[in-house]
């Protein structure tokens, strides 16, 4: 007699959406009832909206990242370390590419993982729109590794400038940083740099201060923060300029060189560090998605139930999913709150599928957009019945709501008790730990 085979639910990508879903499914079914498998090419998860703080050293990522192995042990799912390569829909298998260590030795060989239901949650990457020189000369903020690399380079430049000033006090040495993209990531990073520059003085670089930072924010559109109302975008623009950031709007970057950035109107912005933070596209899948319907940006087109338009057994959520809003005028934006909400709907629908009940539709609730200008300010707009439509917010209330999004993620990933304890510990850490991570 053949033993009953457990239903195998495979989630590709343990980010904002995938990790929350793995925790919920694992906690609900445990290992005995179904086999929940999470595949990720990293060994730890860090919530992406924290990356600009990791990049400037304002946040020590090792305090906030989640190790998949210990997490899966606790919550009743399996974690496989591997790079998702392609799908074979007929065989209901995902193919995992081999993984190598720094010395080129194979760590994980190529293999396949069977699925009964597959959830794609492999996120997005920054879109450089094919701009010449960007891949070679710019840094991106898509992963912890990239954020760490930015921080190392930033500290080295600050150290060089500091040494130059010690050697010659009249030196006009500066750290020149060009950031492309006046969306939330670019704006938050620009402000966070000034917070870091202020803190460097406490840690041995006594002669370095924010006057030595030369930050330029380049935005192709007519204003920064297009997702926010005019008034708030103007407030953020003014706040950045008060800090010392040169904000250049209507300035499309046409090329990046080793020395800096060329713009459409023939200007040149010299820079020691160049960061590209303009636009996102679905993360590439090397071997393809076996005929799943894709949007022009490469996202998996999903029905309101979050099942792929092409295959009922495959769900997609988060940044790699293309889900139309009910009025069908635009897709759900690639944001952390959308990933969080999609994980809840995917959880409900997988439970319903297994119980042979009808599925529910994903109903995106836009709670608004908030942008943190580090400790200097927070601006944004809140949406919803509670505030009677759309309400512009600034200051402490905005900061509180901004932090709430991460707290919700912590609770969804760790459960109420552990999540609440971690929130409390993070408050203590802010008081007792150094203001900057310098290594
Ligand atoms: C710097 C920055 C700041 C942001 N700030 C905000 C903000 O303030 N507010 C907001 O709402 N949103 C913000 N976002 C967007 C938000 O982070 C994303 O919308 C959200 O993380 C999407 O969740 P996800 O689960 O779809 O993807 P992710 O969280 O990106 O997770 C994808 C996971 O898939 C894994 N993966 C990818 N490819 C493969 C593969 N081939 N094989 C195996 N694993 C793979 C990755 O390792 C990762 O763990 C920000 C994004 C960035 C980059």
CA distance 201 to 352: 56
Q: Residue 378's pLDDT is what?
A: 75
Nearest residue by C-alpha to atom 44 in ligand 1: 40
Per the prediction, the chain carries an average pLDDT of 89
Antiparallel, parallel or unpaired: β 78-81 and 99-100 = unpaired
pLDDT at 439 over 70: no
Share of the chain above pLDDT 90, in %: 64
Mean pLDDT, residues 16-39: 93
Question: Residue 15: CB within 6 Å of ligand 1?
Answer: yes
Residues 181-191: what's their mean pLDDT? 92
> Measured from the CB, is residue 121 less than 6 Å from ligand 1?
yes
Query: By C-alpha distance, which of 74, 80, 93 is closest to 38?
Result: 80
Ligand 1 geometric centre to CA of 321 (Å) = 12
* CB 31 less than 6 A from any atom of ligand 1: no
Ligand 1 pocket, mutate which of 11, 13, 181 (most atoms under 8 A from CB): 13
Looking at residue 231, its pLDDT comes to 83
Tell me which of 203-212, 217-226, 310-319 is least confident: 203-212
Find the mean pLDDT for residues 33-56: 93
pLDDT above 60: residue 386: no
- Tell whether the model's pLDDT for residue 57 goes beyond 70: yes
Distance separating alpha carbons of residues 202 and 156, to the nearest angstrom: 17
* 122 within ligand 1 shell (Cβ under 6 A): yes
Q: Give pLDDT, residue 2.
A: 47
Tokens of 35: 């086999």
SS (H, E, C) the chain: CCCCCCEEEEEECCCCCHHHHHHHHHHHHHHHHEEEEEEECCCEECCHHHHHHHHHCCCCHHHHCEEHHHHHHHHCCEEEECEEEEEECCCCEEEEECEECCCCCEEECCEEEECCEEEECCCEEECCCCCCCHHHHCECCCCHHHHHHHHHHHHHHHHHHHHHHHHCCCCCCCEEEEEECCCHHHHHHHHHHHHHHHHHHHHCCCCCCHHHEEEEEECCCCCCCCCCCHHHHHHHHHHHHHHCCEEECCCCEEEECCCEEEECCCCEEECCEEEECCCEEECCCCCCCCCCCECCCCCEEECCCCEECCCCCEEECHHHEECECCCCCCECCCCHHHHHHHHHHHHHHHHHHHCCCCCCCCCCCCCEEEEEECCCEEEEEEEECCCCEEEEEEHHHHHHHHHHHHHHHHHHHHHHHHHHHHHHHHHHHHHHCCCCCCC
With the most atoms of ligand 1 within 8 angstroms of its CB, the residue from 336, 383, 405 to mutate is: 336
Q: What is the mean pLDDT of residues 321-347?
A: 91
Report the nearest-CA residue for atom 23 of ligand 1.
16
Q: Ligand 1 pocket, 142 CB below 6 A? A: yes
Structural domains of the chain in order of their starting residue, each with its CATH number: 7-126+280-366 (3.50.50.100), 134-276 (3.50.50.60), 369-432 (no CATH)
Percent of the chain with pLDDT over 70: 93
Give the model confidence (pLDDT) of 411-433 as tens digits.
999 999 998 988 888 878 776 66
Cβ–ligand 1 distance for 367 under 6 Å, the answer: no
pLDDT exceeds 50 at position 1: no
Distance from the CA of 89 to the center of ligand 1, in angstroms? 25
Alpha carbon distances (Å) from 371 to 44, 139, 206, 242: 26, 21, 30, 17
Select from 280, 182, 193 the least CA-distant residue to 227: 182
**Ligand 1 centroid, distance to 421 Cα (angstroms):** 24
Query: pLDDT category, 345, cuts 50, 70, 90?
Result: very high
Pocket test for ligand 1, best of 10, 16, 286 (most atoms within 8 A of CB): 16
């Amino acid at each position: 007699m053949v033993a009953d085979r457990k239903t195998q639910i495979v989630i590709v990508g343990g980010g904002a959406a995938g990790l929350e879903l793995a925790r919920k499914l694992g906690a609900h079914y445990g290992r005995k009832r179904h086999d929940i498998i999470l595949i990720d090419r990293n060994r730890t998860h860090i919530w992406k909206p924290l990356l600009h703080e990791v990049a400037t050293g304002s946040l020590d990522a090792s305090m906030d990242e989640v190790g998949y192995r210990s997490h899966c042990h606790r919550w009743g799912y399996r974690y496989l370390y591997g790079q998702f390569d392609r799908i074979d829909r007929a065989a209901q298998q995902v193919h995992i590419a081999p993984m190598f260590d720094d010395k080129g030795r194979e760590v994980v060989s190529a293999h396949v993982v069977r699925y009964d239901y597959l959830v794609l949650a492999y996120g997005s990457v920054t879109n450089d729109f094919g701009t010449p020189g960007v891949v070679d000369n710019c840094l991106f903020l898509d992963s912890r590794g990239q954020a760490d690399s930015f921080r190392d380079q930033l500290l080295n430049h600050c150290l060089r400038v500091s040494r130059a000033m010690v050697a010659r006090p009249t030196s006009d040495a500066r750290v020149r940083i060009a950031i492309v993209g006046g969306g939330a990531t670019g704006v938050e990073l620009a402000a966070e740099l000034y917070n870091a520059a202020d803190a460097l003085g406490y840690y041995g670089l006594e002669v370095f201060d924010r006057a030595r930072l030369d930050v330029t924010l380049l935005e192709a559109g007519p204003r920064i923060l297009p997702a926010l109302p005019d008034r708030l975008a103007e407030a953020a623009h003014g706040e950045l300029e008060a800090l010392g950031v040169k904000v250049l709007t209507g300035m499309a970057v046409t090329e990046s060189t080793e020395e800096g950035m060329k713009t459409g109107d023939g200007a040149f912005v010299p820079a020691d560090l160049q960061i590209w933070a303009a636009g996102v596209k679905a993360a590439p899948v090397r071997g393809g998605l076996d005929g799943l319907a894709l949007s022009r940006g490469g996202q998996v087109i999903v029905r309101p139930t979050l099942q792929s338009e092409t295959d009922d057994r495959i769900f997609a959520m988060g940044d790699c999913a293309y889900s139309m809003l009910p009025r069908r005028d635009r897709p759900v934006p690639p944001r952390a709150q959308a990933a969080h909400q999609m994980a809840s709907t995917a959880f409900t629908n997988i439970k319903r599928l297994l119980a042979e009940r009808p599925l529910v539709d994903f109903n995106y609730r836009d709670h608004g957009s908030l942008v943190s200008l580090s400790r200097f300010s927070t601006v944004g707009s809140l949406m919803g019945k509670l505030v009677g439509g759309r309400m512009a917010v600034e200051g402490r209330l905005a900061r509180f709501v901004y932090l709430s999004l991460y707290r919700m993620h912590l609770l969804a990933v760790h459960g109420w008790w552990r999540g609440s304890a971690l929130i409390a510990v993070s408050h203590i850490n802010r008081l007792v730990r150094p203001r900057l991570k310098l290594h």
